[in-house]
Structure 1
């Protein structure tokens, strides 16, 4: 028997052992619950796990993944090394860095999932905000900061920060962004920083106190100029992208934003945005990433969590997730690895790439930008 075949048999036996252990387990999946389409998709996943794997998937809907991170940290501080309250967590960026640096995650498991063979390795699936994942995260969706507008009120989109500022000046009260630390609001700050800073190399490393002011000076100058022309004159900000969508649909705003390039198509399908809505980005590129699931080191049902993570990477689950009739979240699979019918179906759901994907700044910039934003604008 060849070494390759022996390796495949061993992997199959190992995975069967994981599935056997997972049977009958209850997996507590902590996930962002701010979108109805996401919640309905996860309800479907729960049904599939029960039917096909005898796993009870309990979805805990979070307003912010940081809430689950704090719970995991608290359990660790209290010495709860096993039987933790979180088995699987939807995460990326700063929250991942926090847990990984504290040694609170299981590592080395993601690439052992059988469905890892379908993953598009050209996407940033091995780093998260410039932090190596070390197999502690399994990808399950792609994302890119994307603006949304209605052709009826904005036929020609502003494709640079300067054009967006000029549009806001000419149409006061029709532009805004979610209040940081909302994920998309902070992403907008990072996008502007990527576009405006004169020292882009500094963003590949954690910020340091000596250079922070210089690197970020163009961002604050831009926001100082922009804020007086925003919705409510920059003295109040929408709490979420969903609130911005509602304001766009009502005609109050002319621009919304999302971290899902297929979001507009999904909201048109559901009737939550006008049929004339469209997506756009800055011509120089828009920040993008991959979002992941991770397993805390003290998880109560780590075997079940791995089976769920593997299912989330299955062609069936990824196709359903990519379908705007259900969610419209971009896939992390390489269509070339799929059978013909599934390959064609997945390609049909792939959003047209209208602008280049820019890598995110190092995860350390998230908290630094949020704190400085709150200091400058949070009390207004």
Structure 2
């Protein structure tokens, strides 16, 4: 039996009528929350539109998605408002944010909060100090941003053309030599290409623990030396001999679908099944991760310090943590994003909502994805992509 979102909400997942929360709900009613979020994925945009309908129906709070091509656009807007002395009534109410952008806003005092512990649905989260819900690219969250979806780096490959995948990132050197020109990665100026390099760096670094600390020149030289040796061996056997790269994941997915390459990559384990369903990937596409696991992180939402509709933004953040919302989000026909909730904190109805979700041949179970590897400190990504560009672009 499938449980709809509305059924699960009716079974008791609406926000508890706590005194402080009741005040927040009253203040939020009638507000429109301007959620600044990357607009490059149609399924995510559709989910946000659905969420707007639900929050308006349940709480009188509308969501207006401000579609970004880069999260830094919203950060710059908040910075400009602060510089102009606009400490209230800001134009950005909520941001889908991670890593360097969160660190920049936190360091510059641009965030509202801490607020996460005040959300009624925070009871479903593991907020321990070492939990992925409490750390963003090694930076402690400290209640200044709220989880909403799980991301995990995976590869997609066409099983009709590829008989095996390597067990490790190091194994791609031999694999690419045997499948010359059939592998590439997005340009590292795009976060997907940068993640490909980070995945290899975590495996190849002599001291992976060093990646959890802010980068230094000495550490960078020592930890990346094996990476560049690996990449030098890999590059000649890449598509177009590593002289050019697809702009982003979407372009590489199209190349996989057209048979131009055999491998693509994603930060969404369900994207391969979704791509098969919508015809953008071949039916024989499947998901692979290295045996040692892959980089994973939680996507968060943050509220700027000067948000005009902070109460409404808190209501939206809380709605995103409803077990019913998380189950709806994980539905492969909707978004397919794995839940950020701690399954051990759910009651029977909450667990039933997830158990009833549909499956697909290319949809991995969480256990199939292996261990989640922590992102390096945010400072490593900028240094890594700059060095790659210096070495491999003309």
Find out whether 1:163 has 2:163 as its counterpart.
no
SS in 2 for 1:59: strand
Normalised by the length of structure 1, the TM-score is 0.93
Alignment of 1:257-296 (within 5 A): 257-296=265-304
Structure 1 spans left out of the alignment, 5+ residues: 1-9
Per-residue deviation at 1:267? 2.0
The more displaced of 206-215 and 114-123 is 114-123
* Matched residue, 1:23: 29
Find out whether 1:207 has 2:215 as its counterpart.
yes
Tell me, yes or no, if the aligned pair for 1:30 and 1:86 is still in contact at 8 Å. Answer: yes
Alignment of 1:36-115 (within 5 A): 36-115=42-121
Structure 2 spans left out of the alignment, 5+ residues: 1-15, 358-363
Find out whether 1:371 has 2:377 as its counterpart.
no
Per-residue deviation at 1:254? 0.6
Tell me, yes or no, if the aligned pair for 1:270 and 1:325 is still in contact at 8 Å. Answer: no
SS in 2 for 1:162: coil
User: Relative to 1, partners in 2 of residues 1:321 and 1:168: Cα closer, same or farther, differing over 3 Å?
Assistant: same
SS in 2 for 1:179: coil
Tell me, yes or no, if the aligned pair for 2:324 and 2:353 is still in contact at 8 Å. Answer: no
Per-residue deviation at 1:293? 0.4
The more displaced of 62-71 and 291-300 is 62-71
Tell me, yes or no, if the aligned pair for 1:177 and 1:188 is still in contact at 8 Å. Answer: yes
* Matched residue, 1:356: 371
| Distance in structure 2 (CA, Å) of the matches to 1:345 and 1:118 | 14
Find out whether 1:118 has 2:133 as its counterpart.
no
Per-residue deviation at 1:347? 4.1
Per-residue deviation at 1:11? 7.9
* Aligned length in residues: 370
Per-residue deviation at 1:274? 2.1
User: Relative to 1, partners in 2 of residues 1:11 and 1:23: Cα closer, same or farther, differing over 3 Å?
Assistant: closer
Tell me, yes or no, if the aligned pair for 1:335 and 1:347 is still in contact at 8 Å. Answer: no
Q: Deviations over 1:319-356 (max 9, x none)?
A: 11100101100101123333424313314558332221
Tell me, yes or no, if the aligned pair for 2:165 and 2:175 is still in contact at 8 Å. Answer: no
* Matched residue, 2:322: 314
Q: Deviations over 1:123-178 (max 9, x none)?
A: 41111111100100100111111001121011311221232121212222211111
| Distance in structure 1 (CA, Å) of the matches to 2:149 and 2:293 | 19
Normalised by the length of structure 2, the TM-score is 0.89
The Cα RMSD (Å) is 1.8
| Distance in structure 2 (CA, Å) of the matches to 1:368 and 1:53 | 44
Per-residue deviation at 1:56? 2.2
Tell me, yes or no, if the aligned pair for 2:170 and 2:204 is still in contact at 8 Å. Answer: no
The more displaced of 181-190 and 121-130 is 121-130
